[in-house]
Amino acid sequence: GPNSTEMALHVGRRRAGWLGLLLAGTCFILPASLIVTFLAWFYIRYGSLPQAEAVLYGVKPAMIAIVLQALWRLGSMALKNKPLILVATAGTVLNFLGVHELWTLFGTGLLFALGKLFVRRSQIPYFALITPGFTGAATASATFGLGPLFLFFLKIGSVLFGSGYVLLAFLRADLVERWHWLSEGQLLDAIAVGQITPGPLFTTATFVGYVLGGTPGAVVATVGIFLPAFVFVALSGPLVPRIRQSETAGAFLDGVNAASLALMVVVTYQLGRSIVVDFTSLALTVIGVIVLFRFRVNSVWILFGGAVVGLTQKLF
């Protein structure tokens, strides 16, 4: 689930029990969701205007720079040893070859946990065990409806692990590639809006829901993706420390973390091909990366700068 949201829920529960959990979660999610809903309405009504297209043109390369910085930061924390680097590499290759994101995420994590358990007993090197052989999922379109939309985001909220940026991999794989509910351009615009608004990145789901089904779609998508976080925090609070104390469970979580980075690598590459299409977009991406890594400025300024450059480039 969304890490920032779950942290707010944990704080609310510790401070004021069940009511605190509900209030903290609602206050954390609602403002961002309302802002994103308004921007989605604006996008549907005015998104084809040259000014709006120019802003999004500049924001998207900045978004790629921000994701690359997140990859580096998360990778330095999650890839603590060579076996985990190997797990991330294997997950990247598998996902590039078309293996479903869930298989990549949890299958690789399970294999790493089993491998660590076996190694502890037999001292066989990790790399001899990490040889997953999953096959890719078939591509098939699906009929849109509020029910399927809710179930899709409920599934994502239930199984997504790691950074919120992993969400991008699931959205692209299912909504664009498999079911054809969104175009690549609409997905990129949704991600850009999720980046420029306050609150959790998961409010990208609100934007997607509005684009697909208006206000009811926005509500359904938002409830679907955040509901599992409320349930998980409510039920698992006392269990999390115990899970982390288990070596096998800890290894599984480490493996899933590494695999989530693999999904981020693949989707960043795929989205980057659609975003970096000319010299200006390439320059914006490179400059964004340099500024973020060298000067560590707030990412909001990178997005703002990209929007200004895009507006200037397209209109003047």
Contact 52, 225 (CB under 8 A): no
Q: How far is it, in rounded angstroms, from Cα 200 to Cα 103?
A: 25
Q: How far is it, in rounded angstroms, from Cα 147 to Cα 100?
A: 22
**Would you mind telling me the total number of residues written for the chain in this entry?**
316
Which residues have CB under 8 Å from 236's CB, separation 6+? none
pLDDT score recorded for residue 128: 41
Q: Is the dihedral of CA 280, 95, 230, 78 positive or negative?
A: negative
Closest listed residue to residue 71, CA positions, set 161, 137, 164, 160? 164
3-class secondary structure, 145 = coil
CA-based end-to-end distance of the chain:
43
Contact 140, 174 (CB under 8 A): no
Q: Is the dihedral of CA 166, 172, 174, 175 positive or negative?
A: positive
pLDDT by residue for the chain (316 residues), tens digit each? 577 888 889 899 888 888 999 999 999 999 999 999 999 999 999 888 888 889 999 999 999 999 999 899 888 888 988 889 998 999 999 999 988 888 888 888 888 888 777 766 555 444 444 444 444 444 455 678 999 999 999 999 988 876 678 888 899 999 999 999 999 889 989 988 888 887 778 899 999 999 999 999 999 999 999 999 898 888 876 666 676 677 777 788 888 888 989 999 999 999 999 999 999 999 999 999 999 999 888 888 999 999 999 999 877 7
Tell me the H-state helices in the chain: 3-46, 50-78, 82-96, 101-102, 108-122, 146-159, 166-170, 184-196, 204-236, 239-245, 247-275, 279-295, 299-315
Contact 59, 310 (CB under 8 A): yes
pLDDT score recorded for residue 244: 62
pLDDT score recorded for residue 126: 44
Contact 190, 217 (CB under 8 A): no
Q: Which two structure tokens, joined as six digits, stand for 14?
A: 């510790």
Contact 192, 204 (CB under 8 A): no
The phi-psi region of residue 246 (left if phi > 0; otherwise alpha if psi is between -120 and 50; otherwise beta) is: beta
pLDDT score recorded for residue 241: 65
